[in-house]
Amino acid sequence: MSRQTLIGKSLPRPDAKAKVTGGAQYTDDIHLPGMLHGALLRSPVAHARIASIDIDRARALPGVKCVITGNDVPAVRYGNWRLVPELQDETALAVDKVRFIGDEVAAVAAVDADTAREALELIDVEYEELPAVFGIEEALAEGAPHLHDAHTDNISLTRNIDYGELDRAFEEAFHIQEDVFTTHPVNHAYMEPCSALARAESDGRITIWTSTQTPYYIQCLLARTMELRENDVRVIKPHVGGGFGGKMELRPWDFCAAWMAREIGRPVKFTLDRTEELATGRRRHAVKISSRIAFQEDGTITGKEVRAWLNGGAYNGMGPTATFLIGNFGAMLYRIPAYRYRGLYIYTNTPPAGAMRGFGAPQALYAGETQMSQAAAALGLDPIELRLKNSMTEGDEIPGVATVGSCGLKECLEEVRRISGWNEKRATLGRGHGIGVACYSFISGGVFNWFNTKYPFSSAEVRVFDDGTAQLSTLAADIGQGSDLILPQILAEELGLRMDDIRLVTGDTAACPQSDLGTWGSRVTLMAGNAVRRAAKEVKERLFEMVSLKFDLNVIHELECGDGHIYAKNKPKRRIPFGEVVAMAQRANRGEPIKATGYYTPRDCGLVSPAFSFGAQVAETRVDLDTGKVEVEQMYTVHDCGVELNPMAVEGQLEGSIQMSLGYALSETLVMQEGRTLNTTFLDYKIPVAADMPPSISKTVETFEPAGPFGAKEAGEGLACPTAPAVVDAVYDATGYCCNDLPITPEKILGHLGA
Amino acid sequence: MNFDATNRWVGCFTQPADAKQMKHHVIRITVNGDRHTLAVAPHWTLVEVLREHLRLTGTKHGCGTGDCGACTVLLDGRSVNSCLTLAVEVDGREITTIEGIASSGGELHPVQDAFIAHGATQCGFCTPGMVVSSVQLLATNSRPEEQEIRHALGGNLCRCTGYTKIVEAIAAAATQGEEAEG
C-alpha cells in the first residue's frame, strides 16, 4: 500500500475562513494607539523645477503634527537595482525637480485623514515649468529636454543580445515577416490600494506594516533611505489584496510613514485612494517593438531580430528589468538559431512603469505570436502547424541564457487544436466569426541578482514538536496567489502530517529566516518550495535515526513519513507516531529542539530562470461588423506547469489571468494626455466584470520539471501573454484586420472595415 | 478631476472647505445586531464610520466611487455601496456587514462555506463584498441561473479569480440551500 500523498490535492486555503468572514487583516485595517493619518502632495505638472515650497500654513493648521518635503529628509536615491547604483534614481520626495504628474512633493501627518488632506491644500509650491517629453520618439529626438542630470539623453539602459549568423539568415530567407507593434499602458488594478503604517520603537528601530510583495526589499531600501542598519527595520506584511507586480518596490508612503513616525513619536499610516493608484501608480510598459523573422519555404525559422523601445516613465524603479525580459522572451518558444535584440529603456515625463504580471513577456509575445500567425498566412501554412514545426522541446538550449529542463509545448498545441475544434473552424467560420491561437513560455523565478542580495534567494525554517506538529517560518510572501497554502502543503507532504498540523510563521522580517526575495516572477513555489523541502529533509534525517535505532533496522532500510507516523518503508508495521519520534530525538539531543533551515539559490542554471513553463491558448470571437465590438465567445487553454501541486490553486491562477488579459486585449488602457492620466476611476478604467467573462475550457499537459519541488513550475503568470495575440488572431480570422497597436477597439476595426 | 481650480492635486475625496465647522449629527444605527449612537459629520460615509469608528474593518474600501463593490453591506437587508452612503442617511436603520453574515454562534453562511470549498478567495480583498452581494442574491433568488449570478455580481470587481470559482461557489451554495429545504 502506498502512502497518501497531498501532492495534486485541491486543498482549500488555510486563510480562506478569515477572508470570508472579514477577519483577515490588511494594512489599512490596523489601528494603533495614537496613530496619525498621512497624505501626499503630488505634482500637478509633468516637468518643473521647484522654485519654492512654503509649508508654514499647513503646519499651523490645528491637528497637523508633521509636514515634510524633500528638503527635510536625506536625499538618498533608491531603487530595486542595487547591483547597478546608477539605475537607482528615485528619492522619496522630490528634490529640486518634479518629473511627472503625481510625483510626490510633500507629506503631511495629522490627527485624521480629513485634516491631513486639508493641510495639503495649504502647502504652497512654486513650480518653474520645464519642457517635457511624453512619448518614445519625443524623448529620443535630437535636443529633447532630458529628465535626469546624470544622463546626457533620456536613455537609462540598453540591452543587446546577439547570436548566430543573422545576416545570412535574412539573406537566404524565403519569407521575412516584418512588423511594428505598439502596446499601451495598463494598471494592475489590485483591489487593495497601497497602504503603509509605521511605528518608531523606543530604541529608535522602525516597525512597518505595509502592503508589499517583497518585505525584504522594503527592509533593505527603507533602512538605506532612513540611514539605519537593515536589521533596525522590521517589516510586517499583513494580508495583501493583490499585487501583480505593482507592490514590489519601496514607495514614498513607506518612507514618509517611517520618517514621520520617528520624527514625532507616533505611528503614522498612509493609504492611497483609487485615483492616486490609477493616475500615478506603476503601470505595464507602453512599448514599441519592431520585429522581423526569417523563414524557409517550409516554415522553419532561421533568424529573428527584435528592437524594443520601452516607455519607462520618470524613474527606473524596477522597470529596466523589462528591457532584459523582452529580449529573452523574444527568443523563447521556438528554435531560433540566430537572434539579435536591441532594447532601449527610455525616460519620459509620465508615471513610472514597472513590473506587472509577465513583465515584458506580454509585450514580447504579443508581437512575436501575432507575427507567427501572420507569417503562417503569408507562407500558406496553418498557424498551429507553423508553431509545431518550430517549437522548443525538452533539452533545448537558448544560447547563453538557459536550458529548457521540461517542455510540453508541442503537446499543448496539439491538445488545444483538438479541444477547440481548430481544424474545422479556422478560416471556415464565416465573416465576423473567427478563431485564433497564441502560445507562451514563462520563467519560474529569476536567476539574475539585480538586487545584489547577500542572502539566499529563499529560506525556510522547519521546527518539529513532540505533540506531532510542525512550524514553518518563511518570508515567502502570499499576496493572494496562495503560497501560504502551497508551502505548508509541501511541508505536510514531506513530514506525512495533516495541513492543520502545520503552523505557519510568515510575513515578518524579524521572525523569518533571512531571506526570501518575495513574490515576483513566479518564483515562490519553485524557490521557497525547494527551501522547504531541504529543511524538511534535514529534520527527517534526524528523526529517521531514532526509528532505525528503535527497531534496530538493517542499514539498507528506507524510512518514510506518512499518516502522522514514521516507519520503515518495507516494514510498515515498524512505525512510531511522529510526535513520539520528535520526543526521542530531543531526548537524544539533551532537550535541544529539532529544527533545520533550508535554503535555495539558483546556481548553474543560466542567466534567466531555473525552469520554464509553456502553454497554448485559442480564442473564439465574434465581431459585430456594424459596431466593431468584439465578443470573445470561448477560451481554450492548455498549459504545462509541470506537476500541479494543487489543481484548484492552479485553476484559480489561470482563470484570473484570462480576466486580466482580456482586459489588456480589449477594454483596459490608461488614457494619457501630455503626461496626465485621464481615466482615474474604475468607471472609466474598464476591468472585466463577471458578466464579461467568456466560458473557458482548460487542460494541463503534465511534465516533470527536474528543478522544481515535486516537479512543479510556474502557473498563471505566463498566461498573461497569449490571450491578447490569440484574440488579435481571432479578430484577423473574423475580419482580415490584424491589430498591431493594442488594445483592439471598435474604432480600429471599423477603420479597417471602411465603415 | 483630481485637480482644483488652481491645478492643484486634491485626490477624489475633497471635502467642503468648512467641514471642520460643520455640525455633527447624532445617529442611532444597529450594526450586526448591536445598537450604536454616534456623532457623525455630514460628509462622513458609512464605510468610514464602520471602519474608522466602529472598527469593523471587514468591509473594505477599494475605490470610493461605488465601482468596485468591496464596501458592499446590507442596509435593511438590501446591498448598498457603503462608500456612496452617507452616515447621516442611515439613522435608525439596520446594517449587516461581513462580520454579521455568519451566525452569532460562528456558524458560517452556506455562501461562506462554498467560497472556502471552491477556492473562491485569492487575495480576499473583494471577498467581503462578494459574499454580501451573494447573500443578498440568494435571499431574493434561491436558485439563480449562471447568468443571473454573473449579473448580480456586476457591482463587484475581482482581479484575482476571473470570477469563475466565485460563480461556482454561489451556484453550489444555492443548490445546497435547496437540498436543505427539500
Q: Give A530-546 pLDDT, tens digit per residue.
A: 999 999 999 999 999 99
Contact (CB, 8 A) for A470 and A491: yes
Residue B119 shares a structural domain with residue B163: yes
Best residue of A15, A19, A677 to probe chain B, by most B CBs closer than 10 Å:
A19
Q: How many domains does chain B have?
A: 2
- Does the residue B2 lie in any domain? no
Q: State in Å, rounded, how far the first CA of chain A is from the last one.
A: 69
Residue B26 shares a structural domain with residue B93: yes
Does residue A28 sit in helix, strand or coil?
Answer: helix
Round to whole Å and give the CA distance between A712 and A493. Answer: 14
Contact B121 A190 (CB under 8 A): no
Give the closest residue to A689 by CA, choosing from B154, B126, B159, B70. Answer: B154
Partner B, chain A 319-378, Cβ-Cβ below 8 Å: none
Residue B126 shares a structural domain with residue B73: no
Measured over all CA atoms, what is the biggest interatomic distance in chain B, rounded to whole angstroms? 65
Task: Centre a 10 Å sphere on the Cβ of residue A747 and count the other Cβ atoms it contains.
Answer: 10
Of the pLDDT bands very low, low, confident and very high (cuts 50, 70, 90), residue B177 is confident
- Does the residue B13 lie in any domain? no
Residue B167 to chain A, least CA–CA distance (Å): 8
Contact B125 A655 (CB under 8 A): no
Contacts of A108 in chain B (CB under 8 A): none
Q: In what order do the strands lie in the sheet with A630-640?
A: A433-443, A612-623, A630-640, A696-700
How big is the CA angle at B77 (ends B73 and B81), to the nearest 5 degrees? 30
Residue B96 shares a structural domain with residue B117: no
Round to whole Å and give the CA distance between A753 and A740. Answer: 15
Residue B114 shares a structural domain with residue B84: no
- Does the residue B147 lie in any domain? yes
Contacts of B58 in chain A (CB under 8 A): 21-23
Give the closest residue to A482 by CA, choosing from A451, A448, A519. Answer: A519
- Residues A128-157 pLDDT 10s: 999 999 999 999 999 999 999 999 999 999
* Helix locations, A601-719, DSSP H: 647-662
Quick check: B20 pLDDT over 80? Answer: no
Q: Which residue of A has its CA nearest to B160?
A: A656
- Going A471 to A475 to A476 to A481, the CA torsion angle's sign is positive
Best residue of A9, A15, A17, A21 to probe chain B, by most B CBs closer than 10 Å:
A21
Tell me the CATH number at B68. 3.10.20.30
Give the closest residue to A114 by CA, choosing from B182, B118, B24, B161. Answer: B24
Query: Among the three residues B71, B100, B129, which one is the final residue of a domain in this structure?
Result: B100
Interhelix angle A361-379/A723-735, rounded to 10 degrees, is 30
- Going A655 to A656 to A660 to A661, the CA torsion angle's sign is negative
Contacts of A652 in chain B (CB under 8 A): 119, 122, 160-161, 165
Q: State in Å, rounded, how far the first CA of chain B is from the last one.
A: 54
Best residue of B10, B15, B24, B63 to probe chain A, by most A CBs closer than 10 Å:
B63
Query: Among the three residues B80, B100, B120, which one is the final residue of a domain in this structure?
Result: B100
Of the pLDDT bands very low, low, confident and very high (cuts 50, 70, 90), residue B12 is very low
- Does the residue B32 lie in any domain? yes
- Looking at residue A592, its amino acid is E
Does residue A576 sit in helix, strand or coil?
Answer: strand
Please indicate if any CB of chain B lies within 8 Å of the CB of A276: yes
- Residues A4-27 pLDDT 10s: 799 999 999 999 999 999 999 999
Query: Residue B58: which of A22, A39, A271 has the nearest Cβ?
Result: A22
Residue B81 shares a structural domain with residue B28: yes
Round to whole Å and give the CA distance between A262 and A205. Answer: 9
- Which residue stretches of chain A have pLDDT < 70? 1-2, 755
Contact A20 B108 (CB under 8 A): yes
Residue B32 shares a structural domain with residue B96: yes
**Distances in whole angstroms, Cα of residue A581 to Cα of each of A214, A388, A500:** 37, 53, 19
Residue A4 to chain B, least CA–CA distance (Å): 21
* Helix locations, A30-112, DSSP H: 56-60
Please indicate if any CB of chain B lies within 8 Å of the CB of A689: yes
Residue B35 shares a structural domain with residue B78: yes
Query: Residue A117: which of B15, B115, B156 has the nearest Cβ?
Result: B15
Residue B133 shares a structural domain with residue B83: no
Quick check: B16 pLDDT over 60? Answer: no
Of the pLDDT bands very low, low, confident and very high (cuts 50, 70, 90), residue B181 is low
- Residues B33-90 pLDDT 10s: 999 999 999 999 999 999 999 999 999 999 999 999 999 999 999 999 999 999 999 9
- Does the residue B117 lie in any domain? yes
How much is the pLDDT for A411? Answer: 98
- Does the residue B49 lie in any domain? yes
Q: Which residue of B has its CA nearest to A16?
A: B116
Tell me the CATH number at B153. 1.10.150.120
- Does the residue B136 lie in any domain? yes
- Residues B92-148 pLDDT 10s: 999 999 999 999 899 999 999 999 999 999 999 999 999 999 999 999 999 999 999
Q: Which domain holds residue B42?
A: 22-100
**Distances in whole angstroms, Cα of residue A225 to Cα of each of A71, A74, A206:** 14, 7, 12
Round to whole Å and give the CA distance between A63 and A58. Answer: 10
Contact B2 A680 (CB under 8 A): yes
Domains and CATH numbers, chain A: 16-22+457-600 (3.30.365.10), 31-130+191-242+247-280 (3.90.1170.50), 286-448+606-753 (3.30.365.10)
Query: Residue B116: which of A20, A191, A696 has the nearest Cβ?
Result: A20
> Which residues, 6 or more positions from B105, have their beta carbon under 8 angstroms from its beta carbon?
none
Buried residues in A197-236 as b, exposed as e (16+ CB within 10 A): bbbbeeeebbbbbbbbbbbbbbbbbbbbbbebeeebbbbb
The three cell numbers of residue A709 are 519541488
Please indicate if any CB of chain B lies within 8 Å of the CB of A120: yes
**Distances in whole angstroms, Cα of residue A400 to Cα of each of A135, A143, A442, A609, A610:** 33, 37, 17, 12, 13
Contacts of B41 in chain A (CB under 8 A): 114
Interface contacts (A, B; CB < 8 Å): 227
Residue B132 shares a structural domain with residue B151: yes
The three cell numbers of residue B143 are 436558485
Contacts of A24 in chain B (CB under 8 A): 124
- Looking at residue A201, its amino acid is E
Please indicate if any CB of chain B lies within 8 Å of the CB of A29: yes
Contact A241 B124 (CB under 8 A): yes
Please indicate if any CB of chain B lies within 8 Å of the CB of A603: no
> Which residues, 6 or more positions from A300, have their beta carbon under 8 angstroms from its beta carbon?
A389, A390
How big is the CA angle at A284 (ends A724 and B129), to the nearest 5 degrees? 85
How much is the pLDDT for B17? Answer: 47
Q: In what order do the strands lie in the sheet with A104-110?
A: A64-69, A104-110, A36-42, A268-271, A195-200, A206-210, A233-236
The DSSP-derived string for A113-158 is HHHHHHHHTT-EEEEEE-----SHHHHHSTT---S-TT-SSSEEEE
Please indicate if any CB of chain B lies within 8 Å of the CB of A73: no
How much is the pLDDT for A627? Answer: 97
Q: Which residue of A has its CA nearest to B14?
A: A117
Contacts of A10 in chain B (CB under 8 A): 119
| ipTM > 0.85, yes or no | yes
Residue B118 shares a structural domain with residue B172: yes
**Distances in whole angstroms, Cα of residue B105 to Cα of each of A350, A590, B55, B102:** 53, 45, 20, 8
- Does the residue B6 lie in any domain? no
Contact (CB, 8 A) for A599 and A635: no
Round to whole Å and give the CA distance between A631 and A618. Answer: 14
The three cell numbers of residue A299 are 516554415
Residue B117 shares a structural domain with residue B72: no
- Residues A400-420 pLDDT 10s: 778 899 999 999 999 999 999
Query: Among the three residues B46, B69, B100, which one is the final residue of a domain in this structure?
Result: B100
Please indicate if any CB of chain B lies within 8 Å of the CB of A481: yes
The DSSP-derived string for A230-255 is GGGEEEE--B----TTTT-S--HHHH
Residue A727 to chain B, least CA–CA distance (Å): 17
